[in-house]
Amino acid sequence: MTACLNCNASEQEKPLLTIKFKGDEIYICPQCLPVLIHKPANLAGKLPGAENFGSPAEHHH
């Protein structure tokens, strides 16, 4: 079933955005998109590797 990665809203309830990731398609609703952009670590349990999305510039140590 197609449902938001974060809140599990179905496409019947909200418009869902399709995102391609590692060959898979994931779905997220507009309300949860800011979470993916700004706090991807919050999705780490749902989206493997998400904890690494947000910090390309913090690879210094």
Total residues at interface with Zn ion (CB under 5 A) = 6
- The reply on whether position 32 binds Zn ion by CB under 5 A is yes
Pattern 2-31, binding to Zn ion, x per CB under 5 A? --x-xx-x-------------------x--
CB of 33 to Zn ion, least distance (A): 8
- The reply on whether position 43 binds Zn ion by CB under 5 A is no
Q: Interior CA angle at 29 toward 28 and 34, to 5°?
A: 85
Measured between alpha carbons, how far is 27 from 20 in angstroms, rounded to an integer? 9
CB neighbours (10 Å) of residue 16?
20
